[in-house]
Copies of this chain bind each other. A is one copy, B any other.
Amino acid sequence: MTYSIQQLASLAGVSTRTLRYYDQIKLLPANRNVHNGYREYGEAAVDRLQLIRYFQTFGFELTTIQQLLDQPRAVQTAALATQRAQLAAEREHLTTLLNTLDRTLAARNGGPQMTDSEKFATFKQEQLADNEQAFGVEARQLYGKETVMASQHRFANLSETEYHDMQATEAELFTALKMVATTGDLTSEAARRVYECHRQWLCFTWNNYSQVAHRGLAQMYTHDSRFADYYNQRVGLPNAAATLVAVINQYTA
C-alpha cells in the first residue's frame, strides 16, 4: 500500500508543503512514480513521519531529529533526557513570568485610573525581579535571607517621591563619582559626596546601615563584573566602579 502526498498528509495531520519540505531536506525522502513523477510513500515512510512528529512535539529541531533517527536508542534516550531538562526550565521561566504578570495586573486593577503610579509600580516590580535574578543568590549569601527580604520589602514599599529621591541621589552620586574618577583625588570634597550619596542611596532600602555592611557591598562590587559594568557605563568612565570601591573602602576603614 502506497500513499500519495495528500493522503499521507491528512493521515498524519500535516500539510503537503511540509512533506515536500521534508523531502527536500532529505528528512523524509519520497519514492517517485516513474510514470508521472508523483511522490509515493510506503509504510516505512508513515512510521518515520510518526517518529519525526513525535520528536517534534518535544521541541527538537528538524536537523536534530534527522541525526537522532539514525542514532541508537541510548543516544535518543539521552537526548530526550536533555530535552526534558530544557522543557522543565522553560516551564519554570513561564511560572515566574506568570507570577510577575499577576502582580502587575493586580496593581493595574488596584486603582481606578492610576497612570504614572502604576507605571512606576510596574517598573519597580521589574527591577526587583531583575535584581533578584542578577544578584539574589550572592546577596543572600552575603547578607542572609532576612536582610535581603527586608530590603526588597522596603524597595517594594517605596513611595513614588521616595523613589524619585533615590534616583536623584544616584544621579548626584554619578556626578561626583565622575569627578573623582577623573581626578583620582580620594581626599576631595567630591569623594566625600560620593561616599555620602552612596550611603544615602543604600539607606533607601537598608533598614540598618552599618559601615561593615557597606564595606561588604564594595567587596561584592569587586567580585561581580556586572556591578563594574553598571557604574562604568552610567558614569561613562572605565574606572568609575574601581574608584567607587576605593572611596567606600577609605571611608569605612
Contacts and interface: CB of A to CB of B under 8 A. Distances in A.
Contact of A108 (B77, B115, B236): B77
Contacts of A58: 97, 101
A40 interface: no
B84 A102 contact: yes
Interface stretch (A23-31, A88-96, A137-145, A202-210): A88-96
B95 A91 contact: yes
Given A7-B233, A95-B91, A229-B10, A101 B84 contact: yes
Given A11-B234, A233-B11, A80 B108 contact: yes
Interface in A58-95: 58-59, 73, 77, 80-81, 83-84, 87-88, 90-91, 94-95
Nearest to A107: B77
Nearest to A12: B233
Interface string A169-200: 00000000000000000000000000000000
A84 to B, nearest CB: 5
Interface residues of A, number: 40
A179 B182 CA distance: 93
A157 interface: no
24 contacts: A7-B233, A10-B229, A11-B233, A11-B234, A50-B123, A50-B126, A54-B123, A58-B97, A58-B101, A59-B97, A73-B113, A73-B114, A73-B115, A73-B118, A77-B108, A84-B98, A84-B101, A87-B94, A87-B97, A87-B98, A87-B101, A90-B94, A91-B94, A91-B95
